[in-house]
Amino acid sequence: MADTYDVIVIGTGPGGYVAAIRAAQLGLKTAVVERDDVVGGRCLNYACIPAKTLLRAAELLDEAKNGAEQGVIAKDVSIDFPKLHERRESVRKTLTGGVAGLFKKNKIDLIEGEGSLTEGGDVKVGDTVYETKNVILATGSVALPIPGTEFGDRVLDTWGAWSLPELPKSIAVVGAGASGSEIASAYIRFGAEVKLIEMLDQILPAEDKDVVRVVERTFKKQGIEVLTGAKVEDVTPGDGSVKFKAGGADHEVDYLIIAGGRGPDVEALNLEAAGVKIGDNGKIDVDGGQQTSTESIYAIGDITPGPALAHKAMEEGIVAAEKIAGQKVHAIDLDSIAGATFCHPQVASVGLTEAQAKEAGHEIKTSKFKLGGVGAGAVYDDRDGMVKLVVDSKYGEILGAHIVGNRACDMIAELVAVKDLEGGYQELTRIIHPHPTISEAIPEAARAVDGWATHA
C-alpha cells in the first residue's frame, strides 16, 4: 500500500484540476491521477483551448480580408498553418504548465498512469494501490464514431480537425452542434469548401429557433453548404479523400469530421467493483453534492448528467471538494449553466428556448432586440445579431436568454447572473450599461418585453 490521502482525483481536466486545488485549499491531503503525458485533460489539450486558438486566427483572417469597408486594405492575406499550430501549442503549453504549477503550489501529488477503483474504494494505478478516504472521478468523455465508420486517416474526430497539418481543399462535418459548427465556421474562413451535416431538422439543435435562423443564414452566405435532416451513410475512405452519401446525394471530400456524439469515459474505472451505479444514460448517478451511490466516491463533469461543458465540471469539482471537507453545499442548477458556441456569428444561451418554455406549460412573453439597434452594433457592423428573452408573464422571471452575434459568449454572463440571482427582466431595464457597447442591447431587449425599447 502506498501513501494515504484524504482525496484522490482521477483525471486532470478542468473539473479534476479545479477539484484537486479546492480540496488542497481546504486542508485535505490531495493527489491527482493522470494517464496522459500532460495535465489539463481534453479541454486544454485537444478541444476548447486549441479550438478557440484556431477560431481566433479565423476571425483575424476574416477581418483582414473584409476590412475594405472599414478603410483597411490588406493584400495577399493567407493562413500559415505551421505557424498557426505553433501558436496553438504555445497557448496549450502555457495553460497546462500553469496547471502543473498550481499543483506544486498547493502541494498536490501527481500520480502518472491510469487510475481505477478497488473494491474497498481505494485507487489502483498500475500495480500500486493508493489508500484514500475519498475519490473524485473526473475522467471526461470519449468521441464516438457514427455507425458504420471508424476513425482513421480520412475520418477524424474533432481533435483531428483542429490538428490538421495543412489546409484541406474540402471537409464535411457531421453533427452541427457547438463543436461541429465551430469547425465549419473556422474552415470556411480559412478557405476550405465546407459541408455541415445534421441529422435533426436544424443546426445547433439545442438553441432557440430564432437564433438558429440567423446563424444558418450567415453560414450559407459565407459559403457553408448546410444539410439538415440528413443521415450520413456508406462512408468509404480512399486514397486522399472519403466518399459518403447524405441528403439523397453522393459526396466526396478530403476529410470527414465526426463532431456528433461523445460518451462518458468510464470503462477503465472498475465502477462495479466499487459499487458505483450508472444511470440509464450511461452516466454516473450523483446527488446534489456530486456523491455517487458509494459514499466515499464522487463524480463530476462529462461522466455525470447534464451538459458536457468545462465550466459545469469546474463548478461540480468545487462542490465535491467542499462536500468532502464538510462544508455546506448547494446543488448546481443545470438550467442556469450557459452554453457558448464560438462560431461566426457567436451563439450563447442560458435556460429555456421559447419552444421549451411553452412545452413546459409556462405562460410567457418574449422579446427580440437586434444588435444593430445600438451604436456599437453599427461600429462592429453587426446588424443581424440579437438578444432574445423568454420571461414568465406573471412574475417576470427570466426563463431563457439567447444571444447571437458579436461578443455573445461574453455577454451571456450578465444574463446568467441575473437569472441565477432570481432577478426579473424588470431589473435588467434599469441596469446602466457603458456606451457604446454591444451589451446595451441587453436592457433594450428587457424593455422590449413591455414594448418600450428606446432604439427600436
Report phi then psi at 397, rounded to 5: -60, 140
Q: Is the peptide bond before 82 cis (omega within 30 degrees of 0)?
A: no
Give CA–CA dist 283/72, Å, rounded. Answer: 51
435 is catalytic: yes
CA angle 13, 345, 427 (to 5 degrees): 85
- What SS3 class is residue 21? helix
Report the distance separating Cα 280 and Cα 265, nearest Å: 15
Q: Where are the alpha helices (DSSP H) in 163-253?
A: 178-190, 209-222
Residue 349 is inside which H or E element, if any? strand 347-351
And the C-alpha cell for 368? 427580440
Q: What angle do CA 114, 317, 205 make, to 5 degrees?
A: 95
**CA triplet 307, 301, 269: central angle to 5 degrees?**
130
Contacts 24+ apart (CB under 8 A), 66-74: 69/381, 70/381
Q: Classify residue 118 by its DSSP letter.
A: -
**Extended strands (E) in 146-248:** 155-156, 170-174, 193-198, 225-228, 233-237, 242-246
Provide DSSP, 45-71.
HHSHHHHHHHHHHHHHHHHHHT-GGGT
Q: Is the peptide bond before 307 cis (omega within 30 degrees of 0)?
A: no
Is residue 146 within 8 A of residue 260, CB to CB? The reply is yes
Record the cell numbers describing residue 392, joined without a space: 414568465
Beta bridge partners of 4: 131
DSSP H/E element including 129: strand 128-137
Residue whose grid cell is 489539450: 45
Catalytic residue of the set 311, 330, 435, 455: 435
Residues 319 and 287 sit within 8 Å (Cβ to Cβ): no
d(CA 117, CA 384) in angstroms, rounded, equals 52
How far is 406 from 192, CA to CA, in rounded Å? 23
Q: Which residues are catalytic?
A: 435
